[in-house]
A and B are shown apart, each in its own frame.
Chain A
Amino acid sequence: MKKQVLNCTVNDEAVEVLVKPYTTLLDALREDLGLTGPKEGCGTGDCGACTIHLDGKPVASCLMLAMQARGRSVRTIEGLAKTGTLHPLQDAFVRHGVPQCGFCIPGVLMAAAAVLAENPKPTEQEIRYGIAGNLCRCTGYTKMLTAITEAAGAAARREG
């Protein structure tokens, strides 16, 4: 099958890349653009490890074709913070020792960032539902909740 030209924005930069019509957005990011932060844990949208932002909304990039991102804005874990800095969520995850094996973490962070973008002061229940699409097998989620709650507080303080 012939490749097609995909033009979109990835982590604030305009990109142009050739992809097969059947290539998923996840594969295009990982294999063609070298952004291996998003992970494939299931390929069927059940585990959340491939979560990215498309026009600011969290999506499972394994369930989308790359060409569906044409003209749109994609953000991956690599673009959550400016190079060399950490997003308050990332910083809180490190300090609270959240990551264990780490495989789910890029997806969890993108889901959590989407929760905070929509609702800067979420309740515990809102955080839990916000990351309920992201499976983690190592942490039991407790330290994630602590870190996200703290980061939300920090963000709220900054705004207030």
Chain B
Amino acid sequence: MAVMKTTRDIKGVGDPIPRADGREKVTGAVQYVADIQPRGLLHAKLLRSPHAHARLVRIDTSKAKALAGVRAVITAKDMPQLKKKAPTRAHAVLAIDRVVFAGQPVAAVAADELAIAEEALDLIEVEYQVLPVAVDPLKAMQPGAPPVAEAGTEADTSEALAHSAVALASSETKSAKAVNISQQATVKRGDVAKGFAEADHVLERTYRVPMVHQGYLEPHAVLAQWDTVGNLTLWASTQGSFNTRSEVADVLEIPENRIKVIPVECGGGFGGKIRALCEPITAELARVTNRPVRYVMTRKEELEAGMPAPQVIIKLRTGVKRDGTLLAIEADTVLDTGAFSGTVLAVSAVFLGSMYKWPAFEIRGMEVLTHKPSVAAYRAPAAPQTIFAIESHMTQIARDLGLDPIEFRMRHLIQEGDPMVNNQPWQSNGAKQVLAKVAEHPLWKGRKEWAASGGKEGRGLRGTGFALGGWLGGLQPTSATVRLNPDGSLNVLTGQVDIAGTNISLAQIAATAFGVDFDQVKITTGDTDTAPLTGLSAGSKTIYTVGSAVLKAAEDARRQTLEIAAKEMEASIHDLEIRDNKVVVKGAPDKSVTLASIGKKGNLYMSKVPPVLGTATPAFSQQAPGFCAQIARVEVDPDTGETTLHDFVVIQDVGKAINPLGVEGQMQGGAVQSLGFAMTEGLMFDDNGRLMNPSLLDYRKLTAADLPNIETIIVEVPSPSGPFGARGVGEPPIVPAPAAIANAVEDAAGVRITELPVTPERIALARAAQGTGAS
């Protein structure tokens, strides 16, 4: 669509406007699920398996049921809808006869008080027959490993579809038959063997990234209540209310229009609140007790039994000429998906095989089931892990061959039209413009001086690193309406959950498209009974897709408004414009009708003027990839490996910053999550599949004291199809930091760390191994 031209300066697209809910959020007034307290509220708790793999021999709930204040205790026997072969994690509401990860629910309680529900859990007697476990994905995929899924369970690729990241041809992704291998895909082009035979430099390394948790501050929470005729209302912390509705309807076998999902303010999602998790069991407890029931996960439950990002192991081998000419790349990617299928294999293949123009590639990907909590999306799923591998590798190749790492990349970086691994062309993108900004940045230009200043006068070893990464951008149909009110103000209605400050940007889009100031526009996120159908707030697609819908609906409303005004003033619609809340005839400013009068007539008794209601229901086919580069300046203690991050820069192509304030917030927040991946985070499981760090003391997230200010540089290479040229913003900034930090540490301390997080221990051990560290 064409970029809108506005006839005068109005406050809208491009202005750094603080979000409308800021005041509610700083005063503590905004309500999250756990803040809602209906009369007669019951509290739910789940009894979870302490074992990662066990047969359920016997469950006795009689003592728990007898406890005063307990209103319901249910097990899988009470839910005939549940099937042994649960197709997804959401369907595995309560274990039937086998548990497949530690923390899997086996019974549920609703009670008058949380303390009573907790006491009831202690009174439930469960006899487990403990079974052998598959914890390490490389062992789990071997013949004879303890099986995770029930025989015949299908791979779940809905996560990939939900993100619409990229599809590999259906023949390429197939459920494999081997034990615990749930998805397998290979993409190849050219003669890889010949490439390696002709190479002057072959580099092979294995990169490892542990499971990490999305880390949203608000744990999963839901409140469920049924009415007397069998309609269910769910107040949910979700990234997609229609998706939650579909999943709950499917699991509980009730029609979708019987369920109303009210998307309550979401205290962070980052991909972890896309799929249903505790909604079906809470709804079932509400049904059997005929009372409102609230369930809020504890932080321990979140870490032990949430839906983290997969563990990823990438064995990467490259062959290049002495002058840096790329010849061949070969990769084996293993994604540890936990106990249920659900990773995004294709993203990894695209960035490994086709971010740079490799003439020959063979990328083999495998999703492996293990006895651990099953995974879900985490902001740009699979991209940070993949970019860690390829961007660590690219810098190492450049160093080995004495090439400038930016020029080396620039020579081979894709641009619009180059084929991806699936032979689809790359869409218009700003990868080269972003990379060029790295070369211009003072941190990069001053890298030699920075390095030279280290290692003396008590200073640590100093280095600089960068990495480039990106995200392809999700797509999903959506809809929006724009209504003109009797006082001339506008209401915009979507079903899109605002998890990233998108509502203010949508209001800006509507304002600019219609021709009024943004404060004339109120935007509402409706519930699933009243809002037009929309998709997930995920895949960096809210502004790109819902923004397009709001733009079109506002244009539609504007057209209707002008048609009414044209009739009234007996003017041609082409001679009209909207300014100062009036429709005026261009060049004849005294000839006008107010927006209020047009709005009023749409609601006047006996009026023949129709109400103005703009609608749009677009579907999409063209992605708008967003690229991001990050530069890190670090100082490493030569003895302990302790790493201080002195400066960090995020350079990102956002197409068009609809709201620069919100865009900067996304870039800074994404960068710090990326740094968490890089420096501190990782779920650690013991040999029995039990989580060893189930608290925020032991699962270490970065704090304000760990970080410098994050510098942001917004690059605007307009996308041909996004509203006003916008691209997805949310996901690209979580991608590059692991590689940027590993590259900076290598520059400073001379050791290449290939396993995340890049901890002081790993640095010190690597230095000791090569004889440069403390003895």
A residues contacting B by CB (< 8 A) are: 20, 22, 30-31, 34-44, 46-47, 49, 76-78, 80-81, 86, 89-90, 93-106, 109, 127-129, 131-146
B310 at the interface (CB under 8 A from A): no
Q: Complex: how many Å from CA A137 to CA B715? A: 24
* Nearest-Cβ distance from residue A120 to partner chain B, whole angstroms: 19
B411 at the interface (CB under 8 A from A): no
* Nearest-Cβ distance from residue A94 to partner chain B, whole angstroms: 4
Q: Is the CB of B28 within 8 A of A37?
A: yes
Count, chain B residues at interface, CB 8 A: 58
* Nearest-Cβ distance from residue B238 to partner chain A, whole angstroms: 13
* Nearest-Cβ distance from residue B725 to partner chain A, whole angstroms: 22
Chain A contact surface mostly: loop
**Nearest B residue (CB) for A139:** B669
Q: Complex: how many Å from CA A97 to CA B668? A: 12
Q: Is the CB of B28 within 8 A of A78?
A: yes
* Nearest-Cβ distance from residue A123 to partner chain B, whole angstroms: 13
Q: Is the CB of B268 within 8 A of A103?
A: yes
B588 at the interface (CB under 8 A from A): no
* Nearest-Cβ distance from residue B229 to partner chain A, whole angstroms: 31
Q: B654-672: which have CB < 8 Å to A?
A: 661-662, 664-665, 668-672
B621 at the interface (CB under 8 A from A): no
Q: Is the CB of B665 within 8 A of A78?
A: no
Q: Is the CB of B217 within 8 A of A49?
A: yes
Q: Is the CB of B28 within 8 A of A77?
A: yes
Known A86-B26, A94-B26: A137·B115 in contact at CB below 8 Å: no
Interface centre among A136, A140, A141 (most CB of B within 10 A): A140
Q: Complex: how many Å from CA A140 to CA B661? A: 14
B residues contacting A by CB (< 8 A) are: 16, 18-19, 21-32, 34-35, 37, 115, 214-219, 265-270, 296, 298-299, 499-501, 661-662, 664-665, 668-673, 695-697, 701, 703-707, 709-710
Known A42-B695, A97-B22, A140-B671: A135·B703 in contact at CB below 8 Å: yes
* Nearest-Cβ distance from residue B109 to partner chain A, whole angstroms: 18
**A102 partner, pick from B18, B215, B267, B707, beta carbons under 8 A:** B267
* Nearest-Cβ distance from residue B629 to partner chain A, whole angstroms: 16
19 contacts between A and B (CB under 8 A): A39-B217, A40-B34, A41-B218, A41-B219, A44-B696, A86-B27, A90-B27, A93-B22, A97-B662, A99-B19, A99-B21, A99-B22, A102-B267, A106-B28, A128-B704, A140-B707, A141-B668, A143-B665, A145-B709
* Nearest-Cβ distance from residue B645 to partner chain A, whole angstroms: 12
Q: Is the CB of B299 within 8 A of A103?
A: no
Q: Complex: how many Å from CA A40 to CA B267? A: 11
Q: Complex: how many Å from CA A102 to CA B499? A: 10
**B218 partner, pick from A37, A38, A80, A103, beta carbons under 8 A:** A103
**Nearest A residue (CB) for B672:** A140
Known A135-B701, A142-B709: A101·B266 in contact at CB below 8 Å: yes
Q: Is the CB of B695 within 8 A of A46?
A: yes
Q: Is the CB of B25 within 8 A of A102?
A: yes
Known A138-B665, A145-B709: A99·B25 in contact at CB below 8 Å: yes
* Nearest-Cβ distance from residue A44 to partner chain B, whole angstroms: 6
Known A36-B28, A43-B299: A104·B668 in contact at CB below 8 Å: no
Q: Is the CB of A78 within 8 A of B27?
A: yes
**A44 partner, pick from B24, B26, B697, beta carbons under 8 A:** B697
Q: Complex: how many Å from CA A106 to CA B16? A: 23
Contact residues in A for B18 (Cβ distance below 8 Å): 94-97
Q: Is the CB of A142 within 8 A of B668?
A: yes
Q: Complex: how many Å from CA A128 to CA B707? A: 9
Interface centre among A42, A49, A100, A132 (most CB of B within 10 A): A100
Contact residues in A for B673 (Cβ distance below 8 Å): 137
Q: Is the CB of B27 within 8 A of A129?
A: no
8 cross-chain pairs, A with B, having the tightest CB-CB distances, nearest first: A37-B28, A103-B267, A140-B668, A102-B25, A46-B696, A140-B672, A77-B28, A132-B705
Contact residues in A for B23 (Cβ distance below 8 Å): 86, 90, 94
Q: Is the CB of A41 within 8 A of B217?
A: yes
Contact residues in A for B705 (Cβ distance below 8 Å): 128-129, 132
Q: Is the CB of A36 within 8 A of B270?
A: no
Contact residues in A for B29 (Cβ distance below 8 Å): 37
Q: Complex: how many Å from CA A44 to CA B301? A: 13
**Nearest A residue (CB) for B269:** A101
**A105 partner, pick from B26, B214, B499, B671, beta carbons under 8 A:** B26
Q: Complex: how many Å from CA A18 to CA B22? A: 34
Q: Complex: how many Å from CA A42 to CA B664? A: 28
Q: Complex: how many Å from CA A59 to CA B593? A: 58
**Nearest A residue (CB) for B267:** A103
Q: Complex: how many Å from CA A131 to CA B695? A: 19
**A140 partner, pick from B32, B34, B35, B710, beta carbons under 8 A:** B710
**Nearest A residue (CB) for B699:** A46
**A141 partner, pick from B115, B214, B219, B707, beta carbons under 8 A:** B707
Q: Is the CB of B217 within 8 A of A141?
A: no
Q: Is the CB of B672 within 8 A of A31?
A: no
Q: Complex: how many Å from CA A146 to CA B34? A: 30
Q: Complex: how many Å from CA A90 to CA B665? A: 17
**Nearest B residue (CB) for A92:** B26
* Nearest-Cβ distance from residue B36 to partner chain A, whole angstroms: 9
* Nearest-Cβ distance from residue B427 to partner chain A, whole angstroms: 28
Contact residues in B for A145 (Cβ distance below 8 Å): 704, 709
Q: Is the CB of A101 within 8 A of B217?
A: yes
Q: Complex: how many Å from CA A129 to CA B704? A: 7
**Nearest A residue (CB) for B659:** A97
Interface centre among A35, A109, A143 (most CB of B within 10 A): A143
Q: Is the CB of B22 within 8 A of A47?
A: no
Interface centre among B215, B217, B705 (most CB of A within 10 A): B217
Contact residues in A for B707 (Cβ distance below 8 Å): 128, 140-141
* Nearest-Cβ distance from residue A52 to partner chain B, whole angstroms: 11
**B665 partner, pick from A34, A97, A134, beta carbons under 8 A:** A97
Contact residues in B for A44 (Cβ distance below 8 Å): 299, 695-697
**Nearest B residue (CB) for A109:** B26
Q: Is the CB of B701 within 8 A of A103?
A: no
Contact residues in A for B30 (Cβ distance below 8 Å): 102
Contact residues in B for A37 (Cβ distance below 8 Å): 27-29
Interface centre among B28, B296, B696 (most CB of A within 10 A): B28
**B217 partner, pick from A22, A93, A135, beta carbons under 8 A:** A135
Q: Complex: how many Å from CA A30 to CA B672? A: 31
Q: Is the CB of A97 within 8 A of B268?
A: no
- Other A-B pairs, 13, CB within 8 Å; known A42-B695, A106-B28: A39-B32, A86-B26, A90-B27, A97-B661, A97-B664, A100-B669, A101-B216, A102-B265, A127-B704, A131-B704, A136-B217, A138-B669, A140-B670
Interface centre among B214, B266, B671, B704 (most CB of A within 10 A): B704
Known A93-B22, A101-B216: A132·B28 in contact at CB below 8 Å: no
Q: Complex: how many Å from CA A100 to CA B670? A: 12
Q: Is the CB of A47 within 8 A of B709?
A: no
